Amino acid sequence: MISVVALNSMEDNLKKAKELLGIVDQMSPPNFNSSSMNLLIWNCKGAGNKNFKRNLLDLVQIHKLDLLVLMETKVELVSMGMFFNQMGFTTLAHVDSVGRSGGIWMLWNPSLVNVRVIEASSQLIIARIAKQDYP
């Protein structure tokens, strides 16, 4: 048996969201036409091979990223530093891998986004991220 589900209109979805959040009808929805922030968070499971570099270059060019976070890099950042500089990511926070496991790299272009790292450990990087004209 095949069941057919009717898709709700955008207005219906907005009405349901307002009901769930307790927003009165006079309140306008957020303006999503303002400046956006493009970021990629990728559990890459290894950052040292040619396929990774080729795929990352494509993703950065297509999506024009402001911030890039790579997890499970499994290699030390020093082996990739110039590669990221050439893509415009000149500032970073990182936790190197231990042996062949772990590794977190957070990279950004400081002219596009401001990042202030609050804490870093082998499992996480906590940061405050801001972009001009981004709510």
pLDDT digits (tens, 9 = 90+) for 22-40: 666 655 555 555 567 889 9
The answer, as to whether pTM is greater than 0.85, is no
CB 42 within 8 A of CB 70: yes
Per-residue confidence (pLDDT) for residue 16, from 0 to 100? 73
Tell me the CATH class for 35-130: alpha beta
Q: Residue 68: pLDDT above 50?
A: yes
Query: What value does the CA radius of gyration of the chain take, rounded to a whole number of Å?
Result: 20
CB 106 within 8 A of CB 127: yes
Q: Residue 55: pLDDT above 80?
A: yes
Write b or e for each residue in 84-97: b if 16 or more Cβ atoms lie within 10 A of its Cβ, otherwise e.
beebbbeebbbbeb
